[in-house]
Amino acid sequence: MPADTAFERVGNDLFLWKHLWLLDGQRIRCCYCEQEQSLTWAHQALVHGHHCPGRTASAQYPWQDLVELLCAHYQGK
């Protein structure tokens, strides 16, 4: 895959990530229910509010997802 295409894909993935999550210092917050998770708890799934539409999203580990996206960006994948 050409580098430009890889960077575009990562950019699109980051765009989608920021519509689900808000990064605030060492906390990430769900944009729907505003439940927070600190960096300390990155290894555990974020617990959403009971009626949160984000509960059904496949990604429940926002810190891990962010790290993967950034690593892919810097590795040109």
Residue-wise pLDDT for 5-61, tens only, equals 655 666 788 888 888 999 999 999 999 999 999 999 999 999 999 899 888 766 689
pTM of the model: 0.77
The pLDDT-based confidence of 72 (bands split at 50, 70, 90) is: confident
pLDDT at 73: 73
26-30 long-range contacts (CB < 8 A, ≥24 apart) are 28/62, 28/63, 28/66, 30/54
